[in-house]
Structure 1
Amino acid sequence: MKGKVETTLTQNIFRVLLALFMTYAGFSHLTFNRIEFQAQVPDWLPLSKDLVVILSGIVEMALGLALLFWKKQRATIGWALAIFFVLVFPGNVAQYLDGKDAFGALDSDRARLIRLFFQPVLIAWALWSSGAWRAWRNSKKK
């Protein structure tokens, strides 16, 4: 996983799109969607919902910017982003189970359930577009 990994033009386009999305989402955690994101913080988490939203927003912006600009560690950043998506998934599940509305579009159990199926897509997107999968496969061949 160490070192620069070669990626295709398509992977790079999707990597840049994901990086911009993450940076934007992180910024929105800190500003105009701050209250909305609190709906995703599980009630069982023993931290302030606002603190969790702020910290996760900072992590999202850092990962997005790193994915965009840090070429030498791109595969490692892809893994870190995939792990981040795994770590926030319980919040998405809690939002579904608790029936909490957010963002206007997540206003029904159906919408919240459908959203759960996009988390594996985000994980795969992070690993593929960063070259993390290829780096991992190549490390197994050695």
Structure 2
Amino acid sequence: MSNAQTGSAPPRSESRKRMVARLVLAALYAYAGYAHIATPETFLKITPDWVPMAETVIFWTGIAELAGAIALAQPFSRPLRQAAGIGLALYALCVWPANINHMMMDLASPDGGWGLAYHLPRMALQPVLIWLALWTGGVIDWPRRKR
């Protein structure tokens, strides 16, 4: 049955802006995934104490980032890109406590660590990262939804 017969709109093609943003986000997640696996000690320092088997969790978060990056970058399957967008958004939400923990530990250090100029934008950008994963994955169109 054609789109005209079903009354549904034809599938929209991806905009160039969304494609570029998707590939940049995929590259960033691929790098982060590699870093989690190659240098876990960096991430162990900021992992909250309540996380069990922190080294194993860090390894698997690296794998999750790499898998999400690959799925987000591939051009062939929109449903796979959408699943990657949802997965990476949930991932960003789940690691937010580690980012908060890092900020609290860092600011409590005698030298003030990286300082508020680093941590506040990082905290503010976490929701943007969640939105970006959903938008580049084609899960949402907001705020540019066509009427």
Q: What's the TM-score, normalizing by structure 2?
A: 0.76
Aligned-partner SS, 2:17: helix
Alignment RMSD: 2.7
Q: Quote the Cα distance in structure 2 between the aligned partners of 1:11 and 1:86.
A: 21
Q: Quote the Cα distance in structure 2 between the aligned partners of 1:63 and 1:5.
A: 23
Give unmatched runs, 5+ long, in structure 2: 1-10
The amino acid of 2:41's aligned partner reads: I
Asked if 1:61 is matched to 2:66, the reply is: yes
| Higher RCO structure, 1 or 2 (CA under 8 Å, sep 6+) | 1
Q: Quote the Cα distance in structure 1 between the aligned partners of 2:12 and 2:101.
A: 36
Q: What percent identity do the matched residue pairs reach?
A: 28
Tell me which residue corresponds to 1:72.
78
Tell me which residue corresponds to 1:43.
49
Tell me which residue corresponds to 1:11.
18
Give unmatched runs, 5+ long, in structure 1: none
Greater Rg over alpha carbons, structure: 2
Asked if 1:125 is matched to 2:132, the reply is: yes
8 Å CA contact retained: 2:78, 2:138: no
Aligned-partner SS, 1:20: helix
- Displacement, 1:59? 0.5
- Displacement, 1:100? 7.3
Aligned residues: 129
Runs of 4+ in 1 over 6 A off after TM superposition: none
Q: What's the TM-score, normalizing by structure 1?
A: 0.78
